[in-house]
Amino acid sequence: METLLGTLSKAGAIHKVEDGYRNIPSMDLPGSEAFIGDALHNPEGTVMSAGFFELKASEPFEYTYTYDEMKVVIQGEFILTDVSTGEVTHAKERDVLFFPKGTTVKFDTPTYGLGFFAGDRSFAP
């Protein structure tokens, strides 16, 4: 079965999406080349999502988390600024990040960044 971000298959209770990092939808932010999409969401009705976030060198943007999220940097790097404190975190490949609910983060990259995320939220209808 095709999903927004790849091909979904099931083997018993295990859900798998192949190529979930391809064709990630744009976030439509003026000046920023930022992309995000759920590869899987709400399996069996849980409030949990997982997918990919891609950012190309462009204008930075700010995002406020209305849910808890964890992210793993797969390729490249992100420059993350906690807007409330001004503290900057440089995240590179294989770094794991946690964004608590209520945090506003400025996202930037010098060249490119691709991350996998899992969040306690649903944007599904």
Q: What is the distance between the alpha carbons of residues 115 and 12, in angstroms, rounded to a whole number?
A: 28
- pLDDT tens track for 53-112: 999 999 999 999 999 999 999 999 999 999 999 999 999 999 999 999 999 999 999 999
- What residue spans of the chain are helical by DSSP H? none
Q: What is the distance between the alpha carbons of residues 100 and 70, in angstroms, rounded to a whole number?
A: 9
**Overall fold of domain 21-119:** Jelly Rolls (2.60.120)
Domain boundaries, the chain: 21-119
Predicted TM-score of the model (pTM): 0.79
Rounded to the nearest integer, the mean pLDDT of the chain is 84
Q: What is the distance between the alpha carbons of residues 9 and 19, in angstroms, rounded to a whole number?
A: 12
Q: Is the pLDDT of residue 28 over 70?
A: yes
